[in-house]
Structure 1
Amino acid sequence: MQEPVRVDIIVTCKLGFERVVASLIKELCPECRAVPSPMGYMGLVLVEAPTQNIEVLANNIREKVPEAEKVFKVDAECNARLQELGECVKPLASGISSDESFAVRTVRRGKHDYTSLDVNAYIGSVIKEATGARVDLENPDKVVLIQILQDKAYVSIVPGSEFYRKMAPTKFPMYKLYRRMVVTHEPYLGPPDASYVMGTRIGREIQCFEVGKLVVAPVGAVEAEALQRFLRGVIDGQKSRLGIQKKSYGREVHRTEILVQDMYQFVRSWHGKPLIIFEPEGEPVSRVGGELADFIIEKVFREKKELGVMVGAREGIPSGLFRYADFVLDVAPGVVISTDLALTSGLIAIGTAVHDKLLGLDLSDGVEKLAE
């Protein structure tokens, strides 16, 4: 199929779904032309709607075609030359008021004598001069999206909310809390294969959350070979997750330190520091969530103390240690949580209780710096 003479809507989708999306769009609009993978570019469908109201059709695609990831109405089209792009964007700048923020984002397909960053900088200066609006690359009110397909450029002005972000201004980076934690975990000493596999899962968990330290804490004397298998699994699981984080994160990753200490001796050495134990005998997190959040913010963020978190395995945390904990918590009353899920459940419960209160604080008082 040839490319449409005019492009009214650009739809993005997961690779391999181009023909499915094009077919569904044709069902919504039989008179439209929908071109999957134009010029061989996968994940893309170009739509020409000669008789349809373009805005209505775009909304219909958003509502009725879940296979469509993003749906952009094309506001202007021109040749893919920088100067021509600048002239093309100027009339559209009226859609951005002087009290709004904006960002320019460019997706470039094909070979050109400029980069996507060149386009962003040049078009950004054109819009700023025309409107007086401020640039906000993190949380813009409007996004000027420029999609370049070889010798053609398509411009769309869309709300900033169209672009999902993992770390929006309404979120606090919880790894800053988890890095201040020392997790004490009873080793899982079962059959040989089970001990190793359980260890790998726990190793991946502690590294996933970037916990400050993990203390593997047996209760008294244990069989050495079983403990060795569990520890090998923990280390292998941690290394596996750490390697993925280093490749995919756009920030420095904290490597969780792994230690071994008898559980009773750990509690003795932890005297005077904040301590939370997760066991079914405790209070439901939902009942004490507010008190828990205030306690953690005060101790960890303001007093800059480490937070101890204890999680059991097959036998659980000895009840005599409950007296030394500030909180004994039950994540899911009535549910016996398996060992490989217990730590994750507890850490998520703490993060959920604390998160919104952190956002409600005035960060000018130093809480953000204390969290680092």
Structure 2
Amino acid sequence: MNPSEFDFSKASVIVKTLRDYESVVAQILKESFQGIEVLAKPLNFSGLVLVKADVPVEEITREIKMRVPEAERVLPIKYYAPAEMDLIVDAVKNMAEEIRNARSFAVNTVRRGTHKYSSLDVNVRVGAAIKDLSGCPVNLDFPDKVIFVEIIGPHAYIGVVDGSEFQKKMRPPKFEIREYFKKVSLVQMPYLGSLKASYEMGVRIGREAQTFEVGELVIAPIGIIKADEIGVFLKGVFKGIESRFQVQVKSYAHKPHRTEVYVQNLYELIRERSREPIIVFEPEGEPVSSVSVKLAELAINNRRINLLVGSREGIPIGIFRFANLVVDLCPGVTIATDLAAASALIALAFAIHQKLSSDF
């Protein structure tokens, strides 16, 4: 639809989409619902489709949610206002009665275009007005209701939805597991062979270790090995760690932990750490489901936990006698070397989370 023909003040619903999927979603909406008007990428802002419908807003919102999986989020518009701070606050005041009986609320503002205020400014002004008029407490983490303010150039759209529409990645009954990985010493036998294969496997293992931000990665060979093979393997490990670490630096709110790398003979390590928890991941062990409680307790109650992961040959069976647990991650399936470390760490995360949940 030509933007000049669309009445922005009469929009009923904002549909959020994947980037570059706006036109597809707009076409699906036109084909699925009779008598509606749609505008993809309003004012050239990506990830948006505006919908104007003659039916009740709640009805078209519900139908889009039920019938269009391509719609990432569907926001029913209650009020329209020009994108000026005082006019937005005045419009929001009309919603005070809807919030009065809520357990808590938060304000979520997304601003597109150039304005004399920031999204945070809108959140503060709108939040203060609603709190004063309704008496409802603010909860920025897990609100019962969310008042949204979607600003598209000179236009502001306002509405209220359940807090579940803006779920956070970390919320009850979830528990933060990341800190427990700092206790992990991931003991990995090196993958040696052709130089190309050794390097590529090193990159993958390094990325896995850094993905979970484990405390340390110990490359643990046995006996004499070729220097060029272990050299390129270690080069790959550092490359994998660095590439993942840079992604974490850019995208994480917290400061990521860079995994330390050490090299030590496997048998020497076992002797040195005989008083620490040692967990071997090999198919000869018990299924993880039957030992998850003990696995979690070892991780939670100790300063360091050693997770041993094999390579082509696997962990030598003589070491099994010195392990607190020997765990089979997936009975009947041999896990590839480049997936073994991640599989072991995910199993540990599951065990810890299950334990924390049962104790909560």
> Partner amino acid for 1:77?
Y
Deviation of 1:98 (Å): 5.2
Deviation of 1:69 (Å): 0.8
1:6 aligns with 2:10: yes
| Structure-2 residue corresponding to 1:370 | none
- The partner residue of 1:87 within 82, 90, 93 is 90
> Partner amino acid for 1:32?
I
> Partner amino acid for 1:43?
G
| Structure-2 residue corresponding to 1:328 | 326
Deviation of 1:354 (Å): 1.4
Q: Distance in 2 between matches of 1:247 and 1:58?
A: 35
- The partner residue of 1:134 within 134, 137, 140 is 137
1:272 aligns with 2:272: no
Q: Give runs of aligned pairs for residues 232-311 of structure 1, distance below 5 A.
A: 232-297=235-300, 299-300=301-302, 305-311=303-309
Q: Distance in 2 between matches of 1:312 and 1:34?
A: 56
Q: Distance in 2 between matches of 1:99 and 1:19?
A: 36
Q: Distance in 1 between matches of 2:259 and 2:358?
A: 29
Segment drifting more, 113-122 vs 164-173:
164-173
Deviation of 1:360 (Å): 4.2
Deviation of 1:64 (Å): 1.2
Q: Distance in 1 between matches of 2:155 and 2:93?
A: 17
- The partner residue of 2:21 within 11, 17, 28 is 17
Does the CA-based 8 Å contact 2:276-2:306 persist in structure 1?
yes
- The partner residue of 1:312 within 301, 310, 313 is 310
Segment drifting more, 172-181 vs 1-10:
1-10
Does the CA-based 8 Å contact 2:298-2:305 persist in structure 1?
no
Aligned residue pairs total 356
- The partner residue of 2:149 within 143, 146, 150 is 146
Q: Distance in 1 between matches of 2:63 and 2:18?
A: 19
Does the CA-based 8 Å contact 1:3-1:38 persist in structure 2?
no
Structure 1: stretches of 5+ with no match in the other structure: 363-372
| Structure-2 residue corresponding to 1:220 | 223
Q: 1:116-156: CA deviations, max 9, x gaps?
A: 11100000000110111111111111111001122221101
Q: 1:246-280: CA deviations, max 9, x gaps?
A: 11111010011100000000001102111111011
Q: Distance in 1 between matches of 2:297 and 2:243?
A: 35
Q: Distance in 1 between matches of 2:102 and 2:67?
A: 34
Does the CA-based 8 Å contact 2:204-2:237 persist in structure 1?
yes
Deviation of 1:222 (Å): 1.2
Q: 1:153-207: CA deviations, max 9, x gaps?
A: 1101011100132222322221111111111100001111100100000000100
Q: Give runs of aligned pairs for residues 137-176 of structure 1, distance below 5 A.
A: 137-176=140-179
Q: TM-score, normalising length from structure 1?
A: 0.93
Q: Give runs of aligned pairs for residues 40-51 of structure 1, distance below 5 A.
A: 40-50=44-54
Does the CA-based 8 Å contact 1:98-1:132 persist in structure 2?
no
| Structure-1 residue corresponding to 2:79 | 76
Q: Distance in 1 between matches of 2:244 and 2:112?
A: 33
Does the CA-based 8 Å contact 1:200-1:238 persist in structure 2?
yes
| Structure-1 residue corresponding to 2:70 | 67
Deviation of 1:99 (Å): 5.6
Q: 1:80-108: CA deviations, max 9, x gaps?
A: 22222222111212111356111111111
Q: Distance in 2 between matches of 1:306 and 1:289?
A: 17
Q: Distance in 1 between matches of 2:117 and 2:111?
A: 10
> Partner amino acid for 1:326?
N
Q: Distance in 2 between matches of 1:154 and 1:252?
A: 35
Deviation of 1:291 (Å): 3.0
| Root-mean-square deviation (Å) | 1.3
Structure 2: stretches of 5+ with no match in the other structure: none
> Partner amino acid for 2:234?
L
> Partner amino acid for 1:261?
Q
Q: Distance in 2 between matches of 1:294 and 1:207?
A: 23
Segment drifting more, 83-92 vs 113-122:
83-92
Does the CA-based 8 Å contact 1:204-1:241 persist in structure 2?
yes
| Structure-1 residue corresponding to 2:341 | 343
Deviation of 1:53 (Å): 2.7
Does the CA-based 8 Å contact 1:142-1:157 persist in structure 2?
yes
| Structure-1 residue corresponding to 2:31 | 27
Q: Distance in 2 between matches of 1:23 and 1:99?
A: 37
Does the CA-based 8 Å contact 2:216-2:261 persist in structure 1?
yes
